Every structure is written in C-alpha cells, then in structure tokens.
Amino acid sequence: MAVRHFLSLLDLSAEELRHLIQRAMQMKAQQHQGNAHAPLRGKTLAMIFEKSSTRTRVSFEVGMQQLGGHALFLSPRDTQLGRGEPIEDSARVLSRMVDAVMIRTYEHEKVERFAAHSRVPVINGLTDLEHPCQLLADLQTWFELRGDIAGRTVVWVGDGNNMCHSYIHAAERLGFTLRITCPEGYDPDPLILASAGRSAAIVRDPMEAAEGAHLIVTDVWASMGQEQEQAARRRAFADYVVDEKLMARAAPDALFMHCLPAHREEEVSTGVLEGPQSVVWDEAENRLHAQKALLEFLLAGGETQPLSRQ
Ligand code: CP
Ligand code: NVA
C-alpha cells in the first residue's frame, strides 16, 4: 500500500479532514480527563527543523510522548543535512530507522523530494508555501466553538503567505468563503488561488472584506526568511492591521485567530489579541490535539477511508 504523507491540506479528503477534526476533539477531551491512549507505543517520529519553532516542536514532541511513542529533534546544524548530504539520501536512511518524519523547511519542493524517497509518512511542519498542521488546529478550534464551517465567511488579513495558502485549501475542501485582503504585491500564489475556484477571492479593501465575516485571521507581515524585508513590509501592510475598528465590521460573534507568534501593535492590536473574540490560546493548544489525531491516522491506521483527492 502506498505511504500516506501530509504535505498539504489537500492530502486529506473533505471527509477525512472532518473525521480528523472530530477525532482531535475526542482526544482533547480524553486527555483533559486524564485518560491515556497510547496507540504509538514503540514508534519514533524524527523532526527536522531548518527554521525556529515553539508550538510545532513542542506539540509534536509532547504528542508523540502522550501517544506512547518518542520524538527525535534533528537540526541541520548538527546533522549531515547541514553539511550537504542530499535530501534524497537522508530520506532513504532516516525512513529505515523511524516510523514518520516531520520537516519544517524553506522550499516546499524539499519536503516533496524527501517524501518521494521515504518509506514512512512525511508531515509538513511548515514550508514557505504551506502550513497544513496549523490549519488542522485552526479548524478544530472553529468546530469546537461554532460547529461546521461550511457556508461561513472567513477573512484572511495581511500577507498572501504559507498560512494564507493553507486557508485557501481549507476553503476549497470544507466549503467556506475566503476573502483575502492584502496589499498589491503581496497576493497569494495565483495557481493556488485559482485552484479554489469561487471559494476564495481577493478583496483589496480590508473594511469591505471584513463586512459580516464570521472569522478574521491574520499572521506576521514578515515570515521566517523575510527578516530583511521587515521595514518595507511594515510600510506596505500599514492599512492591514486587525484592530477594534476592523473587528467591528465583522459579525458580532466573529472570532479572531492568529497562528502565533504575534507582533502586538503591528498586524494585530493588543486589544483584539487579548480581547473576548480572540481564541489564539485555544488555537495554540489545539496544535497538540490535532497533530495527535494526525499521527494516529498516519501511523496507527486511524479510522478514516483511503485518500481520494477531490
Ligand atoms: N504557529 C506555529 O507554527 O508556531 P511555531 O513557529 O512556534 O511552531
Ligand atoms: N507565516 C509565518 C508562520 C509562522 C508560524 C512564517 O512562515 O514565519
């Protein structure tokens, strides 16, 4: 049987995605009640980080431990990956020793090359193009607070970056409307946007985009690897701050999400981030539960159907 990878949200069908979210909610309740469920006893996850991380690293490491397995942190600084060993060779070697590999890197293509040479499931822990694990947590947070997201309106504010791309995929899979409000020059990848058909569209004016929305989401203006663009981006994104005025345009019970880390008084006001509509701490916690459901699905067979790309 072909190995299942999770390089993109599109690697899960709509049915699998909904099932995984329900499973994550169940696992969260079990863990909060102190019930241990250890289907990954004796399994090892290798985690390769070419970029910094707090949430992704800790949630995968703790998640594996709670599931009865073990996680191995690998930095290019002290493995042969950093000294030029080809990604294909690293994939062949590592996948003979561990049961799954999570990678956070720059070029998305690197994760795809690794997966193409791996005998075991590979998980995208963020690339410049996509951040699908974060979407599992965001969707879980929405589902537990508001139910299904189909038919709702979500507004992405700011950069057309990796998170925005994964939101476009989520809109396509789960049938919600995504309005992307970003300054010219910072649009999402046109092919990814086009792939979502009518589910996602750019609305240049942030106030117009936020009108009646059910969920407002933003992210940093300069992602990892774009540190030298910080000043230029601060100028370009000045009109794309999520503040109280913008939230007031949304539905009265609209939620606010941010994958974190956040820059207060830059992309989001302190009032919104710390305010009653913000669910960023639940969202961060759900990285743990959603990824445990993903690990169970990929490594212990889960209960979902085989992939059928829609
Ligand atoms: N949201 C997220 O991926 O956080 P980290 O960079 O801390 O992993
Ligand atoms: N867009 C951000 C997300 C960080 C979790 C980045 O890539 O740095």
CA 310 to chain CA centroid, nearest Å: 20
The active-site residue, picked from 18, 259, 282, 291, is 259
**Residue nearest ligand 1's atom 6 by CA:** 53
95 and 144: one domain? no
Q: Is 287 a catalytic residue?
A: yes
**Which residue, 138, 137, 131, is CA-closest to 165?**
131
From first to last of its 310 residues, the chain has per-residue pLDDT tens of 689 999 999 999 999 999 999 999 999 999 999 987 899 999 999 999 999 999 999 999 999 999 999 999 999 889 999 999 999 999 999 999 999 999 999 999 999 999 999 999 999 999 999 999 999 999 999 999 999 999 999 999 999 999 999 999 999 999 999 999 999 999 999 999 999 999 999 999 999 999 999 999 999 999 999 999 999 999 999 999 999 999 999 999 999 999 999 999 999 999 999 999 999 999 999 999 999 999 999 999 864 433 433 3
CATH number for the domain including 119? 3.40.50.1370
234 and 293: one domain? no
DSSP string, 233-272: HHHHTTT--B-HHHHHHS-TT-EEEE-S---BTTTB-HHH
Q: Do the domain assignments include residue 220?
A: yes
Give yes or no for a contact between 55 and 284, defined as CB atoms under 8 angstroms apart.
Answer: yes
Q: Is 104 a catalytic residue?
A: yes
User: Residue 100 phi/psi, 5° resolution?
Assistant: -165, 160
CA 101 to ligand 1 centroid distance, Å? 17
Instruction: Write a three-state SS string for 7-55.
Output: CCHHHCCHHHHHHHHHHHHHHHHHHHCCCCCCCCCCCEEEEEECCCCCH
Tokens 């504010």 correspond to what residue? Answer: 157
**Residue nearest ligand 2's atom 7 by CA:** 223
41 and 165: one domain? no
Q: Is 164 a catalytic residue?
A: no
What integer pLDDT is reported at residue 35 of this predicted model? 85
What contacts 24+ positions apart, CB below 8 Å, involve 204-207? 205/181, 206/157, 206/181, 206/239, 206/240, 206/246, 207/245, 207/246, 207/249
108 and 156: one domain? no
116 and 193: one domain? no
Q: Do the domain assignments include residue 310?
A: no
What integer pLDDT is reported at residue 310 of this predicted model? 31
What integer pLDDT is reported at residue 307 of this predicted model? 40
56 and 117: one domain? yes
Which of 123, 130, 260, 291 maximizes ligand 1 atoms within 8 Å of its Cβ, making it the mutation to test the pocket? 260
Is there an atom of ligand 1 within 6 Å of 126 CB? yes
87 and 37: one domain? yes
96 and 31: one domain? yes
273 and 291: one domain? no
73 and 149: one domain? no
6 Rama class: left (phi>0) / alpha (psi -120 to 50) / beta? beta
**Residue nearest ligand 1's atom 1 by CA:** 259
pTM of the model: 0.96
CA 284 to ligand 1 centroid distance, Å? 9
16 and 100: one domain? yes
What integer pLDDT is reported at residue 306 of this predicted model? 38
What integer pLDDT is reported at residue 303 of this predicted model? 45
138 and 255: one domain? yes
Domain residue limits at 269: 134-284
Give the SS3 label for residue 61.
Answer: helix
What integer pLDDT is reported at residue 1 of this predicted model? 67
Tokens 């042969």 correspond to what residue? Answer: 80
